[in-house]
Amino acid sequence: MIIEKTSPEVGGMGHPIKRKEDSRFIQGKGNYVDDVRLPGMVYGHMVRSPFAHARLKSINTEKAKQLPGVLAIITGEDLAKAGLAWMPTLFFDKQMVLATGKVLFQSQEVAFVVAEDQYIAADAAELVEVEYEELPVLVDPHKATAPGAPILREDREEKSNHIFHWEVGDKSATEKAFQSAPVKASVHAISQRCHPAPLETCGCVADFNKATEKLTVHLTSQAPHAHRTLFALVGGIPEQNIRVVSPDIGGGFGNKVPIYPGYVCAVVASLTLGLPVKWIETRSENLQSTGFARDYHMTAEIGAEENGKVKALRVKTLADHGAFNAAAQPTKFPAGLFSVCTGSYDFPNAFVEVDGVYTNKAPGGIAYRCSFRITEAVYLIERAMDVLASQLKIDPVELRRRNFIQPKQFPYKTPLGWTYDSGNYEGALNKALEMLGYAQLRKEQEEKRKKGELMGIGISSFTEAVGAGPAHTFDIAGIKMFDSAEIRVHPTGKAICRMGTKSQGQGHETTYAQIVAQELGIPASDVVVEEGDTDTAPYGLGTYASRSTPTSGAATAVAARKIRDKAKKIAAHLLECSEADLEWTNGKFFVKGVPSKAKTIQEIAFAAYTNIPAGLEAGLEAVDYYDPPNLTFPFGTYICVVDIDKGTGEVKVRRFVAVDDCGNVINPMIVEGQIHGGLTEGFAIAFMQLIDYDENGNVQGGSFMDYLIPTAVETPHWETGSTCTPSPHHPFGAKGVGESPNVGSPAAFVNAVVDALAHLGVKHMDMPITPWKVWNVLKEKGVVS
């Protein structure tokens, strides 16, 4: 499928246009939750636990209450009286809103102070006296089910720290294949606990109007409608009386999918006081208590022939979920889409097991710029393929080539149950190799090794699964996944497009307008795109997991086509011919063979309100709720070249080539931006970022002093390229792209470092690969003393 480009003036798909709306950041117009100012607004501040595991003996709020300007202090006991002490998580566990009985992780929410300004609220929080009795702390997930481990969740019937066991694939066929495999390679890899750290932390302004009984919540939300429904179901407020508004939220990356205790407390406080209540986290609160990502401890084994042809994959994983299972993923997938871990390779057999456990750490397991655990899966298989290549002394490029699923095999059913829609893995690999000059660099590496210099090349040929999702399989907290678009064409031919998704900086304002331009010929500059207000937008599941293009993007095209169908009827009326005599091109209908007898979409729009054919409703608008038949499976090859400084252990990324294939592209400039951002995040995860805990459960990495964000100084130069393999089932052949670089890149970085050290006997290194870690390996191997 090839997208026919509209003229650049119209700005349809395939044009790198930039729209005015996107310049608001440069103009400095504040439109964030933190910018919301309402008359009478008051401020909430959390009291948090300094301990990771402790019994709550008492909470004394008397001193704090006496501070002038303090309006209310809410404790877990107060919430318990209203039946709100616990809230459901997105994965059907429950989570304390404010601690009752005991605390389960450092920085857990204990009490909520409301005051006239944020400084008084913070001072009063300091005056809340909490008496704790420390309990033994469980930090290591491997010890969670060991005899004698402290049982963390006393509220559960099951007296165990084990949350779930999940398996998929054919166990006995996989065992059999392993028995007959002449080669076995294995790797134990940790996808470490990290955090999306969005620019704006989480927060809200809850505004309950006692006169109208309407609750408006300005919320850092990636899924405003789902959050509205959950507020209605849990809080008992009629859904029509709740309005969730999610403005610019400074990035989400999965962090803004769950509901957090701060949101609930602000709503409760506003209901109680009848005033707007604002709660915004600090940076450290965001890192320490809201949704973490990853924390998967994985072992992969590959059974293969001597020539490297893979026969079977066996994976065992321990998932650390922290104190509550607050993973944001569909009900059917306790380990998200981790079972795409056969990757781009034609494995005849596979079997995967995942066990989730509780520990004394912050809850989460959110999809940080990935489709529910796909980053972990891709990292594992791409590392395992390199381990196999190294064991067999086959070039990692060659090993991948021998095992790729071939273009003619699509649609391809994996042994773990997924049906990949389309792909040409070798095409992307070849392009990346060519851009890089692979053969030359391998020669250079050989030369450098002779001189004792350390240089490595790492490859990742990843497959992604985005576009959640087909409603028969995917839901969020039970709400089926689909997404929506509503387009209204005004009499003057301008349009408004309202969506169920919610941009967090991905440029939806531009790209959805381009889809309308492509489908209807209305210039993109004449289309306003609105998202994030539940009072106006059609119901949708929001934006995460690169689902916007595969779902709402598709809905936009389908809604536009519905409008075009109606426009045809009006055109036939205006041109006094039958619909069968009409043809469509670039924004107008014309009589076949007589191009001058034509009506533009603007003329038709005017007629829709002024000159309607008998029997047809006035107006020109349509809505579509799109339920995709399948996920889309974008892919790509990333290649990283590193040089290692032996003296300091510092890894320098010399080159990074990223070839992505997301099918047909709506806006190449935006896609390029998505790739740059995601690669930078992948780079940070590979080399810098870890949320760690000491043996007492104290968070290490709970501020930007320890949890490092790459600046322009550290960030490598990205070289991007693309191939185009359209999705056969998407209305205009597009696949999602936003998360591909974060999903595909960590393995390329790590593979490059391990490749640089492979001749020293290094088989694997866990992320983050800090200079200290590398230097210690060099010391251990006798390279430095």
- Shortest distance, position 720 Cβ to ligand CDP, whole Å: 13
Name which of 178 and 425 has its Cβ closer to ligand CDP.
425
Least separation, in Å, of the C-beta of 706 and ligand CDP?
28
> Quick one: 49 or 548, whose CB is closer to ligand CDP?
548
- CA–CA separation, 37 and 42 (whole Å): 10
* Active-site choice (194, 370, 497, 640): 370
| 222 catalytic per annotation | yes
Tokens linked to 769: 């690969």
Nearer to ligand CDP, 599 or 735 (CB): 735
Q: Are 696 and 132 in contact (CB under 8 A)?
A: no
662: annotated active-site residue: no
| C-alpha dihedral (417, 422, 427, 431), degrees to nearest 10 | -100
Sheet holding 310-320, edge to edge: 162-169, 349-357, 310-320, 296-304, 183-191
Q: Minimum distance from CB of 662 to ligand CDP (Å)?
A: 4
Question: In whole angstroms, how far apart are CA 195 and each of 135, 345, 369, 469, 692?
Answer: 27, 29, 10, 24, 11
User: To the nearest whole angstrom, how small is the minimum distance from the Cβ of residue 549 to ligand CDP?
Assistant: 3
Judged by CB, which is closer to ligand CDP: 19, or 573?
19
Any idea how long the chain is? 785
User: Is the separation of the CB atoms in 269 and 114 below 8 Å?
Assistant: yes
Query: Under 8 Å CB-to-CB from 39, ≥6 apart: which residues?
Result: 276
Q: Which of 193, 228, 294, 369 is catalytic?
A: 369
Which one, 44 or 507, has the nearer CB to ligand CDP? 507
DSSP track, 449-460 = HHTT-EEEEEEE
Annotated catalytic, 370? yes
Smallest gap, in angstroms, from Cβ of residue 487 to ligand CDP?
16
Pairing of strands 527-530, 495-499: parallel
Minimum distance of ligand CDP from residue 499's CB (angstroms) = 10
Of 403 and 503, nearer to ligand CDP (C-beta) is: 503
Peptide bond into 726 cis (omega under 30): no
Residue 165, burial from CB neighbour count under 10 angstroms (0-12, 13-18, 19+) = exposed
141 vs 628 by CB, closer to ligand CDP: 628
Cβ of residue 630: shortest distance to ligand CDP, in angstroms? 15
Using the minimum distance from each CB to ligand CDP, give the nearer residue, 250 or 507: 507
Q: Which of 464, 471, 419, 415 is nearest to 633 (CA)?
A: 464
**Catalytic residue of the set 95, 106, 108, 222:** 222
Give least dist CB 484 to ligand CDP, A.
Answer: 14
First to last CA, the chain: 59
192 is catalytic: no
Q: Which is nearer to ligand CDP, 458 or 542 (CB)?
A: 542
Closest to ligand CDP by CB, 169 vs 738, is 738
Distance CA(83)–CA(88), nearest Å, equals 12
In whole angstroms, the minimum distance from the beta carbon of 501 to ligand CDP comes to 6
**Strand residue runs (E) in 398-477:** 412-413, 419-420, 454-463, 475-476
Nearer to ligand CDP (CB atom), residue 423 or residue 736: 736
- Paired with 661 in beta bridges are 635
3-state secondary structure 87-123: EECCCCCEEECCCCCEECCCCCEEEEEEECCHHHHHH
* DSSP characters over 626-681: E--SS-B--EEEEEEEEEE-TTT--EEEEEEEEEEE-BS-S-HHHHHHHHHHHHHH
CA-based R_g, the chain, Å: 27
The number of helix segments (H) and strand segments (E) in the chain equals 18, 36
Of 310 and 671, which has the nearer Cβ to ligand CDP? 671
In angstroms, rounded to a whole number, what is the distance separating the alpha carbons of residues 779 and 774? Answer: 9
Tokens at 641, concatenated = 């070249």
H or E element, residue 485: strand 483-489
Residues within the interface to ligand CDP (CB under 6 A) = 506-508, 511, 543, 546-549, 553, 662-667, 670-671, 674, 734-738
Nearest to 683 by CA among 704, 662, 655: 655
**CB contact at 8 A, 690 and 193:** yes
Contacts of 386 (CB under 8 A, 6+ apart): 396, 458, 459, 747, 751, 754, 755
The least distance separating ligand CDP from the CB of residue 25, rounded to whole angstroms, comes to 15
CB burial of residue 197 (10 Å; 0-12, 13-18, 19+): buried
- Distance in Å, CB of 65 to ligand CDP, minimum: 44
Q: Please, what is the minimum distance in Å from the beta carbon of residue 507 to ligand CDP? A: 4
Q: Which positions are annotated as active-site residues?
A: 222, 369-370, 739
